[in-house]
Amino acid sequence: MTGLPFKDRADAGRALARRLEIDRLEPDPLVLALPRGGVPVGFEVARALDAALDVFVVRKLGVPGQPELAMGAIASGGVRVLNDAVIEALGIPPATLAAVVDRERAELERRERAYRDDRPAEPVRGRAVVLVDDGLATGATMRAAVLSVRQQAPARLVVAVPVAALDACAAFDTDVDRIVCAATPEPFYSVGLWYEDFAQTTDEEVRALLAEAAARRRRPAA
């Protein structure tokens, strides 16, 4: 498929931004990137849209022993989304689920404190919000983000990813005002397959990109 694989997340972000040019017309738009991998993508989108950039922390609830298989997700604001089909099929006991939730909630809170370097979270109410990640496989993580952001009353909510499984992308049609999946290759297999460089984004890179985006917004226009 044309444009695939992406060179890296920055390349994917630029490709995604080209699909989002219409959103430059929104007043005071906000890009919320899901860390860590969504932040390099979101940085490029925010730059193209002249938008503010912030993180929105979501943690996947991985099945014990199969961490890449999601049995749900949690997000800022106390939202929890469970994949009941996976939980029932694998017979996950409630105590096991609770232990995973507690562990991931602690990590969620750590990341929220660490990433912004004491900067306050960007307000959501009344703004056009673009939720960005580096890809959608099952969509569980993004669904938790959507539910949580909706509680904060944005004026408009867009989900945007460079690459997604076709069914995961389609599942958001009725949940958001716009869903943008730049590429939906079939068969999909995994997000990382569609990147030449899918190295893990570090906490330091997240902080640096957020700081650079904030500094750019403070600089007067030339």
Q: Which domain holds residue 172?
A: 9-60+120-216
Amino acid identity of 161? V
* Domain presence at residue 94: no
* Domain presence at residue 189: yes
Nearest to 80 by CA among 144, 143, 33: 144
pLDDT at 2 over 90: no
State the average pLDDT over residues 77-93: 91
pLDDT at 1 over 80: no
pLDDT at 221 over 70: no
* Domain presence at residue 83: no
pLDDT number for residue 23: 66
pLDDT at 117 over 90: no
Which residues, 6 or more positions from 19, have their beta carbon under 8 angstroms from its beta carbon? Answer: 160, 180, 182
* Domain presence at residue 127: yes
* Domain presence at residue 49: yes
* Domain presence at residue 43: yes
3-state SS string over 124-154? Answer: CCCCEEEEECCCECCCHHHHHHHHHHHCCCC
* Domain presence at residue 171: yes
pLDDT at 105 over 70: yes
pLDDT number for residue 79: 84
* Domain presence at residue 145: yes
CATH of the domain at 186: 3.40.50.2020
Per-residue pLDDT of 194-212, as tens digits, reads 999 999 999 999 999 999 9
Q: State how many domains the chain has.
A: 1
- Between strands 128-132 and 30-33, the pairing is parallel
Q: 23 or 108: which carries more pLDDT confidence?
A: 108
State the average pLDDT over residues 94-109: 94
Per-residue pLDDT of 128-167, as tens digits, reads 999 999 999 988 889 989 999 998 999 999 999 999 999 9
Structure tokens at 37: 């991998």
Distance (Å) of CA 122 to CA 25, 29, 134, 169, 173: 20, 11, 21, 26, 26
**CA atoms in the 13 A half-sphere facing the CB of 218:** 6
